[in-house]
Structure formats: C-alpha cells, structure tokens
Structure 1
Amino acid sequence: MKPQDFDFLSSLLRRRSGLTLNPDKVYLLESRLTPLARRSGMESLDGLIAELRKSASEQLMRDVTEAMTTNESFFFRDRTPFDLFRDQVLPMLRQRRAATKKVRIWCAACSTGQEPYSLAFVLKQQEAQWRDWKFEIIGTDIARPVLQKAKEGIYSQFEVQRGLPIQLLMKHFKQEGDVWRLSEDIRKMVTFREFNLLDNFAPLGKFDVIYCRNVLIYFDQSTKSNVLERMRKILPDDGALFLGAAETVLGITDKFRPVRGQRGMYLPSDADQNLMAPAS
C-alpha cells in the first residue's frame, strides 16, 4: 500500500470512529478491506481507495469503518467486572437508589451483545431481590451488522462455549440446529442502538454504571481523554466505570480514579473514598 493511501485511510477512520492506526498496521487494512473491495465490485483495494477519494460515498465510508472495527466479544469476558458488578456495585446501588429504584447501565462498543447480556444474566439470577426495581441496560456500537446479531440473540456453538456457564446455556438458550437462540425474557432486558463514541453523549441520558471495555486502546491519547471526560458528565458522583484489563485512566484524565484492589473499576475522582470497599 502506498504511504499516501495509508494516510488517507487512517485519517478517514480516525475522523469517523476514533480508530488510530500506525503504519505497521498496513496488513490489517489490506486483510480487512480487500474482501470489502471485491464484494463492492472492485478488482482490488486500490479501486476501493480510488472510489473513496472520488465519490466520498457515505455508504462506502460506513462499510470501510465497520470492516475495520474490532468485534471481539464473549460472555463474562475477564469475569472480574461482572463479579464486581454483582458483589460491589449492586449492593451500593440498592442503598443509593432506594428512593427511585431505577438503574441505568450503558455498555459502550458492545459488539454482538455478550457483555450486556452477561449483565442481564447477573440481574436475572437476583430477580427476586429486585422485583420492584427498574433496570435499563443499553448496548451501543458503531457497526450495524453486529448490533443486528446482538438483537437477534443467536450465537454459534463456539460463541456460547466462550465464558458462558453451562447452567446458563441450558436455562436461557434454545438450540436450533447448529446455533443457540437466547430466550426472549433475557433479550428484552437489553436495548441496542447504533452510536459512535465520537458523538455527543447527551441524547443517551445519564447512567449509573458504564462499561467501556477494550475499545479505548484503539484511540489516541487525546481521544481517550475526551471520551472519558464526557463519560464523567453523564455519571453521577456515585456512578461506576469499567474499563478493560489493559486500559487505565492514569495519565489520561483526572476525572476518574481506580478503585483500590478492584481491577478495571473506576469511580469519579471526587466520589466518596468509602463508596466501594474491596471485596472480602
């Protein structure tokens, strides 16, 4: 790939999705966009780039962005963030939201839905304790195909084997040939919508808990800072943020602080120091 073509594509992707690519990722562009070029009736990646330069087709730019988006996800990924939700966050919310009995959770960059559905499983297991409470789980992603898959709740044998306890598989899924369909009662607990993390968060409303895991690693420093600081604005002082195991707020923003002993969990920097105690 010519350097000027790499610069053109990387600039396009950064502008539309925040994705930052270094020159050593040329292979990634070629491997993901060459099949797209062929599906679009072009003989090569060069033809795709030429068409992008010439027409600036919104649909083609969307297709390129979706092709480059990493959609790796599985149920109860890294486990710890879900254990902390059950053992630390929910008890805190029971006390702090007793007056309204309403909780809103945002799973940003939710891909094919395993993360928000994992949270729904946690809540379903405690259903008797929350009968008069209203939980709203919102899953968002920039890519339409993965959102459609999430809404359908249909997963392959490989996908349900990754992190999903067998008892949950047997209880909440129905096998249909080679795939497994998630039960309607779990699917109804999650709402999915298309959303770009570079866009204004205000239309989403306020949230008590935000999961934004394994996506900021693809952004540059200034974009990470911008996203985190805007997330702080839609979290209350006693809200909780979860990032991926390889991510951190340190050196990026002073709006959040890590929770001691709780990997991947962050609180607003001005939150009560005793809001979350380490799990016993």
Structure 2
Amino acid sequence: MTPAEFEYLKKFLKDRSGLVLSNDKQYLVESRLLPIAKVGKLETLSGLITSLQRGGNSKLESDVVEAMTTNESFFFRDKTPFDHFNETMLPALLEARARTKTLKIWCAAASSGQEPYSLGICIKEAGSKLSGWRTRILGTDLSLEVLEKAKAGLYSQFEVQRGLPIQMLLKYFDQKGDMWQINPDMRAMIEWRKLNLLDSFSHLGEFDILFCRNVLIYFDQQTKSEILDRLAKMVPEDGYLVLGAAETVVGLTDAFKPVAGKRGLFQRKQSAAKAGVAAPRLVAGAGGSLLR
C-alpha cells in the first residue's frame, strides 16, 4: 500500500465513520482489510482501494468500515459505569420520574449487545423498585453484523465468562449446546437499530440515560465536540451521559458537567432559565419516544 493509498483510506474512513487513523496504524489496516480484499477477489489492498475509488460498490464500502471499527465488548465492562447506574443514576431517576414511571436508555455503541444486556440485568435486579415502570433500552451501532449477533443474544462460553457473574448467567441465560442465549424476556427489553453517530439522530427522541463509551476516542476534537453537543439535545436537564474511562467532556462542550466523584459520569448543565437567569427555555430532544 502506497502512502497515497493510505491517505485515501484515512480520508474515506473519517468521512464514513469519523474514525481517525494515525500514520502508525498501517499494520492494523493491512491485517483487517487484506481478508476482505481476498474474499472480494481483489487480491491486494491496492486492488481494494482502487475499487473504493471507483465507487458503486456499497457492500465493499460497508465491509471496510465495519472491519476498521472496533467491536470489542463484554458483560459489565469496566464495572464502574454499572455501579454508577445502580447507586447514582437509578435512585435519582426513580424519584424524578415517579409520576410518569418511564425510564429510557440509549447505548450509542452497543456492539454485540453486552452493554445493553448488562443494563437490562441491572433493571431486572432492581426488582420491586421498578414495579409498574415502563423501561426501554435502545442499542445502536454502525455495524449490522454485530447488531445481528446482539439481537440473537447468543454468546460463547468464553464471552459469558468475561464479566458475567455465574449466578446471573444461570438466572438470565439458557444453555444452547456449547453456547448461552439470554432469555426472551431480556431480549424483548431492547430495541436494536443501525446508526452512524455522524448522521442525524434527533428522530430517536429523548433519553434519561445515554451510554456512549469508548467511541469518542476514535474521533478528532471537532467531531467529538459536534457529537457531544448533539447528544446534549437528547438528554433532559436531569439526565445523564456515561463515557469511557479515558473520555471526558472537558474542553469539548459546555452542555455537560462532570458528576463529582463519579469517573466517566456527566450530567446536563442547567439552562440559564433554570439557574434563575431570564432566558428562553431550550427544548431538548426532537422526534417521538421509543416507548410505545
């Protein structure tokens, strides 16, 4: 692959997915895209890039983007965000939403489904606290392949051993040969949609909690700021944003503030009107609700 071809591929990936490749990632490109070139009978990376440049091959374009976006995930990944959910977000929202008894959560990089299902387990484990409540979890991802896996809720022994306590495995999964499938009640809690965060997502409506972990690290500063500002419009002023351990809103947006002592947890800043300053009220979130 020539330097010019690598530059073309970097621009292609940034335009299509927001992914910013540094110059030292050429080895990663080769390891992930050579198999696609061979399956497509293009033989070499140069042949693959030539085909991309010609245009008109939407499947190849999609395969390249999916191959280069990271889909690593496991149950209760990093643990801390789920502690924040159980100990901070859920108690606050149980009180704030006591009248409507609705809870809406969006996992904006759902990958193969472990994060949304982990949150579903947290909700089930809350038991009587959520009796009579309507809860909905939306999982979105750029990759159709991982979304299909998420919908099926079928995982290998290795996958369920990564972060999932044995008692929860036996409680919420059914064994299918050498695989484990999350039970139908859990699968029914979650709606799956293909979504690119570079595209408009205002039609999804408003969410009480927004998980967007380990995604922004792949974008440049301007793209991060733009996405965070658009995410802020999806969350009410008492709603929450959860980012990855290495991610922050500081220096990127004024729409969120860190929650003191809670790493990776952020909350919408109050508008000027709510803070006691005369100003027009901003209506956050457009479109319909996921709850039907």
The TM-score bracket by the shorter chain reads over 0.9
Listed as ranges, the gaps of 5+ residues in structure 2 are 276-292
Displacement over 4 Å in runs of 4+: none
The match for 2:26 is 26
SS at match of 1:5: helix
Give the TM-score of the pair, scaled to structure 2.
Answer: 0.91
Q: How many Å separate the matches in 2 of 1:5 and 1:11?
A: 10
- Amino acid in the other structure paired with 2:127: E
Q: Which residue of 2 aligns with 1:50?
A: 50
**1-side partners of 2:55 and 2:247: how far apart?**
37
Unaligned stretches of 5+ residues in structure 1: 274-280
Counterparts of 1:15 and 1:78, CA distance in 2: 30
User: In 2, Cα distance between the equivalents of 1:248 and 1:238?
Assistant: 19
- How many angstroms does 1:59 deviate by? 1.6
Which secondary structure state, in structure 2, belongs to the residue aligned with residue 167 of structure 1? helix
Give the distance between the partners of 2:231 and 2:151, measured in 1 at CA: 25
Q: In structure 2, how many angstroms separate the alpha carbons of the residues matched to 1:190 and 1:165?
A: 21
CA drift at 1:103: 1.2
- How far does the alpha carbon of each residue in 1:20-58 deviate from its partner, in whole angstroms, 9 at most, with x for none? 001111111111000011111221111111111123422
Structure 2 vs 1, CA of residues 47 and 60 (structure 1 numbering), >3 Å: closer, same or farther?
A: same
Tell me the equivalent position of 2:210: 210
Aligned match of 2:250 = 250
Equivalent residue number for residue 190 of structure 1: 190
Equivalent position SS for 2:203: helix
Paired position in structure 2 for 1:178: 178
Which residue identity is paired with 2:66? E
Q: Aligned-pair distance for 1:127?
A: 2.6
Deviation at 1:250, TM superposition (A): 1.1
Q: Distance in 2 between matches of 1:173 and 1:34?
A: 36
After the TM superposition, which residues 1-280 of structure 1 pair with which residues of structure 2 at under 5 Å, given as runs?
1-270=1-270
CA RMSD of aligned residues (A): 1.3
Distance 1:56 1:260 in 2: 50
Inter-partner Cα distance in structure 2 for 1:100 and 1:55: 49
Amino acid at match of 2:81: P
Q: What are the Cα deviations for residues 57-101 of structure 1, in whole angstroms up to 9, with x where unaligned?
A: 222111110111100100001111111111111111111111211
* Structure 1 position 202, deviation (Å): 1.0
Partner of 1:202, secondary structure, is coil
Q: Which amino acid aligns with 1:195?
A: L
Residue 141 of structure 2 aligns with an amino acid whose one-letter code is: D
Instruction: Write the distance in 2 (CA, Å) between the matches of 1:129 and 1:99.
Output: 14
For residues 267 and 245 of structure 2, the distance between their equivalents in structure 1, rounded to whole angstroms, comes to: 16
Provide TM-score, normalisation by structure 1.
0.95
Q: Distance in 1 between matches of 2:91 and 2:177?
A: 40
